[in-house]
């Protein structure tokens, strides 16, 4: 990046994949920093803080709008979860904690309003990551092509055109390209000349590849994830809040991108973590 690269790709070859992976790195850093009762080492806590800061700035430098939107949306929702949580918990019910969260949410709303009103100002163009969000428009080529990809995905599982079987079980794993060829829309050629293997939306990706049944199974996994995390939150509210923060950011960014090896591994790692924590919760 210092040498002139506008969006660093690290070892994964794409700034989108890098930013998605850094979400997991950010969680890990926050985990080591926040879980003071679990980790007694001061060195680990300091390391976690440094890792979190580096990961956050890495996400800004990568400039992936979907991840930045995911981070912001996730922060709003997670703070709301902490603020309005009904469980009787000494940590979450501290008046200082609640006042601080309320102030942070208010400041974020004000800052978001100011950004929306002044996003065309040259000031934002000098801030990495924010510069790409400030110039976003649905009229650009990338946005128009994504909308066409999504439309192709929906058309590819429409029972009126492809039959009930495709609607129920889809086109098969990693077969979006065949669905794309079958339901190709010529207006896409003006926006994108490539041969995409994903529709840049995880839900539509699952719907196209595995049909309605596969999509319901995928959403069922997420439902179980959040259900277990909320259950863990009764004993470990900080850990639950961190898991919700990561999960919401990951899920939101997947609405505009798709999973690859590095992001899939982070999802499996997080699933393993909450299964481990839930087993200990049942033991208690």
Q: What is the pLDDT of residues 103-123, one digit of tens each?
A: 888 888 888 888 878 877 777
Q: E strands, the chain, where?
A: none
Given pLDDT bands bounded at 50, 70 and 90, which one contains residue 22? very high
With CA atoms as reference, report the closest residue to 201 among 150, 260, 165, 132: 150
Q: What CA–CA distance (Å, rounded) separates 264 from 258?
A: 10
Q: What CA–CA distance (Å, rounded) separates 173 from 192?
A: 23
pLDDT for the residue 215: 95
- pTM value is 0.87
With CA atoms as reference, report the closest residue to 246 among 94, 34, 101: 34
Do residues 49 and 29 touch, judged by C-beta distance below 8 A? Answer: yes
Name, of 39-43, 103-107, 164-168, the range with top average pLDDT: 164-168
CA of residue 2 relative to chain centroid, distance: 27
């Amino acid at each position: 990046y210092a040498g002139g690269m506008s969006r660093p790709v690290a070892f994964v070859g794409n700034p989108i994949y890098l930013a998605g992976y850094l979400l997991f790195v950010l969680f890990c850093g926050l985990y080591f920093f926040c879980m003071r009762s679990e980790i007694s080492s001061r060195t680990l806590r300091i390391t976690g803080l440094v890792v979190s800061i580096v990961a956050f700035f890495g996400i800004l430098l990568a400039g992936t709008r979907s991840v930045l939107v995911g981070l912001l949306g996730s922060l709003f929702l997670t703070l709301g979860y902490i603020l309005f949580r009904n469980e009787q918990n000494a940590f979450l019910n501290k008046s200082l904690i609640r006042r601080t969260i309320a102030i942070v949410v208010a400041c974020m709303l004000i800052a978001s309003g100011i950004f929306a009103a002044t996003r065309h100002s040259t000031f934002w163009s000098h801030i990495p990551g924010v510069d790409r969000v400030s110039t976003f428009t649905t009229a650009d080529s990338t946005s128009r092509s994504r909308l066409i990809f999504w439309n192709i995905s929906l058309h590819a599982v429409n029972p009126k055109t492809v039959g009930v079987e495709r609607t129920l079980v889809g086109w098969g794993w990693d077969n979006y390209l065949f669905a794309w060829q079958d339901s190709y829309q010529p207006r896409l050629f003006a926006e994108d000349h490539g041969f995409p293997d994903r529709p840049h939306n995880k839900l539509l990706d699952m719907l196209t590849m595995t049909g309605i049944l596969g999509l319901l199974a995928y959403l069922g996994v997420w439902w179980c994830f959040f259900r277990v995390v909320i259950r863990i939150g009764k004993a470990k509210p900080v850990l639950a809040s961190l898991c919700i923060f990561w999960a919401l950011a990951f899920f939101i960014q997947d609405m505009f991108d798709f999973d690859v090896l590095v992001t899939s591994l982070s999802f499996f790692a997080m699933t393993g973590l909450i299964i481990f924590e839930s087993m200990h919760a049942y033991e208690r």
